[in-house]
Amino acid sequence: MKVKILSHTPEPEKVISMAAKLCYSSVGVDEIEENLTEESIDKFLNMLINIGHESPLEHVSFTFAVEGISRACSHQIVRHRIASYSQQSQRYVKLEQFEYIIPQEINEIEEAKELFIASMKKDQEVYDKLVDILFEKHYNNLIKIGKNEKEAKRQAEKKAIEDARYVFPNACETKMVFTMNTRSLYNFLNHRCCERAQWEIRELAIEMLRQLKQAAPILFKSIGPKCVKGPCPEGNMACGDIVEVRNKFKNL
């Protein structure tokens, strides 16, 4: 898995401080900015986050590039609707040899790993055969209606891989770029850093948080699963390791 912050709103903590202070101030942004110091930003943002005034957080966004995740993981990511997503297309990109993610639990058992890899190889073989069969059909039809050879090949391949991709599994590797504002990131991290989150998206969320703490330490210093700042909301389904979880995110 590769996770990288591509860009973010410049001076994120300053921007949020100015936006929030404007709500309570009789003066304009120029005067607000003149009076801001690193110490005052730190103090104000801590107060803002503690009282739960989160709408100013929406003025700051972070854009991530993510590679080496499964389609199973990406399907979970896009359930977070207040965000913008771009994902590698299986409709336009022919996968000559698709990469895949092997869950650790499967990887640790040799028999299970062999079965899994054999299934991935079979999926590739079927995909390749389907592409060939569908390509021939579409190519012949396009030639019949007067397309030149070059254009017929281009359109035929696109049509072929569009349908052949249906055999690819959830394990198929994908790449994404997505942008979330800070408020949406709080929600994402609250849910996906939790021990009850699926392992792959939890690994992604923790790495995102690690990088966010470097980019905007005040905004993200106390963020993590909900149990970091209060009681676990999972009830009878709690992981039971609240002390260990809190220590992990305190030292992240």
Q: Of the residues 79, 192, 202, 246, which is catalytic? A: 192
Q: What angle do CA 89, 63, 250 make, to 5 degrees?
A: 120
CA distance 173 to 170: 8
CA distance 67 to 3: 7
CA distance 250 to 252: 6
Q: For this structure, is 79 an active site residue?
A: no
Cβ-proximal residues to 165 (8 Å cutoff; 6+ apart), any chain: 90, 91, 95, 127
Identify the sign of the CA torsion 104, 175, 180, 80: negative
Instruction: Say if CB 20 and CB 44 are below 8 A apart.
Output: yes
Q: Which residues are catalytic?
A: 192
